[in-house]
Amino acid sequence: MGRKLAKLSITVKPEYFIMLALGLLIIPFQWIIAWITASTFHEFFHFFALRLSGSRIFEVQVGLNGTVMDTDLFGDLKEILCALAGPIGSFLLILIGRWCPRLAICGFFQCAYNLIPIYPLDGGRVIRSIMRNFFSDPKSLQIEMWLENSVLLLFLLLGLYAFFCLKLGLIPLIFAVILMMKNKQGKCTCKE
């Protein structure tokens, strides 16, 4: 195992540090540490699942789109298991909520966010793998696009409702726009 990891390249993109610096201006330091710890735990579970499945990991990139691992992952079942490993790890952080409430809250939100059925999030990767097993490629892609567009429209409408009717400010609307941008960028991952 150590020999396979010796070739692993880890890159942290400069925009990650810019985002971190901006976050420190508006978010308390304790929450930033909790979020980074929960993110690391989440990604470790992806990493662990990839290693258990026998997949090699060539590169890990950390940037604005989160963490992207370049692997040789093959097969829809492996894809589903490796995609679900991260949210499971995040969910496990809820169990320590009594002792580390910030970490548990960050783990819960990372789990919920990553299970949204929009590619390239983990939930979208699971949906994509399941669709490929039941439908032909064109039909699978059509169903996936319909589901993603429906979910994105729902989040946009909820964001608009939260902004105009509930007066919750721009954060729900910004969240919907970020989801739309993330989906359109189509973060191409090793997990694909």
pLDDT tens track, the chain, 192 positions: 455 555 788 889 988 888 888 888 888 999 999 999 999 999 999 999 999 988 888 889 998 778 888 888 777 889 999 999 999 999 999 999 899 999 999 999 999 999 999 888 899 999 999 998 888 888 988 999 999 999 999 999 998 999 899 988 888 888 888 888 877 765 444 444
d(CA 7, CA 114): 28
Give the chain's radius of gyration (CA, Å). Answer: 17
167-181: pLDDT as tens digits: 888 888 888 888 888
Give, for 9, the enclosing helix (H) or strand (E): strand 9-12
This model's pTM is above 0.75? yes
Mode of pairing for the β-strands spanning 66-71 and 57-63: antiparallel
d(CA 95, CA 127): 27
pLDDT of residue 3: 53
pLDDT of residue 188: 44
Q: Residues 66, 14: contact at Cβ < 8 Å?
A: no
The angle, 0 to 180 degrees and rounded to 10, between the axes of the packed helices 137-164 and 171-185 is 160
Edge-to-edge strands, sheet with 57-63: 9-12, 57-63, 66-71
Query: CB-based contacts of 189: which residues, under 8 Å, 6+ apart?
Result: 68, 69, 70, 120, 125
